Amino acid sequence: MTALAPAAGSRRVLADIIARPSTRARAFAMDATLVLAGVAVVALLAKVSFYIGPVPITGQTLGVILVGAALGARRGAASLTSYMLLGLAGLPIFAGPVAGPAYVLSPSFGFIVGFIPAAFVAGWFAQRAWDRRPVLAFVGFVAASIIPFLVGVPYMALILANVVGSDVSFASIMGAGVLPFIVPGLIKAAFAALLVPAAWMLVRSLDRRARD
């Protein structure tokens, strides 16, 4: 078991079923591959956007939930940490066109930071098999989806008040950074809560066929 493997007593996640390395060296290489694959998934989904009325929806948070659930708490958090660092290094992998060190002054950077514990929480629930039943998965994924707002909203207020120089009020922050994203967030959590259990059903089916 590597440093990024699930903690003792936790159930396996999808990545543990699909990837079964036989040695420590291969386990380390597999962990690194899974972490980078998670970065790629979030980066690709971050570029997907559509509108429900006037509210834009990106796939970024969906990617965070899926990566956390598929990789587990530690690997999921490591993947989103890598995502943040690579974006700050200049790779254009965030939702918008801007990347690089200056992105820390963006009002939305706090949400990027919040993705790290969000992926950990999604993975934590997955390691306890909540991701195998749609209702439990939805509850766990909604909980994970709330976390970026706990970090991102205060950060947004701080940047707007001290860097941008805007007048910041509770109503303006709620209107700009919270309320428009509640329904889209629930939709993405519901989609993930259908997709991940379906992936488990497929994995189990393939495993049974392999044994027969």
**Residue 9 has what pLDDT?**
46
Which helix or strand (DSSP H or E) is residue 183 part of? helix 182-211
CA separation for the pair 127, 130 (Å, rounded): 8
Q: Tokens 């694959």 sit at which residue? A: 37
CA separation for the pair 43, 65 (Å, rounded): 13
Give me the mean pLDDT over the 140-153 stretch.
Answer: 96
Give me the mean pLDDT over the 133-137 stretch.
Answer: 96
CA separation for the pair 121, 129 (Å, rounded): 13
Give me the mean pLDDT over the 162-171 stretch.
Answer: 80
Q: Name the band, by pLDDT with cuts 50, 70 and 90, for residue 10.
A: low
Give me the mean pLDDT over the 85-114 stretch.
Answer: 94
**Residue 53 has what pLDDT?**
57
Q: Is the pLDDT of residue 135 over 90?
A: yes
**Residue 8 has what pLDDT?**
46
Q: What angle do CA 182, 185, 188 make, to 5 degrees?
A: 155
Q: Is the pLDDT of residue 212 over 70?
A: no
**Residue 54 has what pLDDT?**
53
Classify domain 14-211 at the CATH class level: mainly alpha
Q: Which burial class, exposed, middle or buried, applies to 177 when counting CB atoms under 10 A from its CB (0-12, 13-18, 19+)? A: buried
CA separation for the pair 79, 40 (Å, rounded): 9
34 Cβ neighbours under 8 A, 6+ residues apart: 15, 19, 71, 75, 79
DSSP helix, strand, coil percent of the chain (3-state; round to 5) = 75, 5, 25
Within a 10 A sphere around the Cβ of 21, how many other Cβ atoms? 14
Q: Is the pLDDT of residue 77 over 70?
A: yes
Compute the mean pLDDT over every residue in the chain, rounded to the nearest whole number: 88
**Residue 167 has what pLDDT?**
75
**Residue 24 has what pLDDT?**
75
Q: Mean pLDDT highest for which of 66-70, 98-102, 155-159?
A: 66-70
**Residue 57 has what pLDDT?**
76
Q: What pTM was estimated for this model as a whole? A: 0.89
* pLDDT (tens digit per residue) in 19-59: 766 677 778 889 999 999 999 999 999 999 876 655 567 89
Q: Is the pLDDT of residue 201 over 70?
A: yes
End-to-end CA, the chain: 28
For residues 154 and 177, the answer to whether their CB atoms sit within 8 Å is no
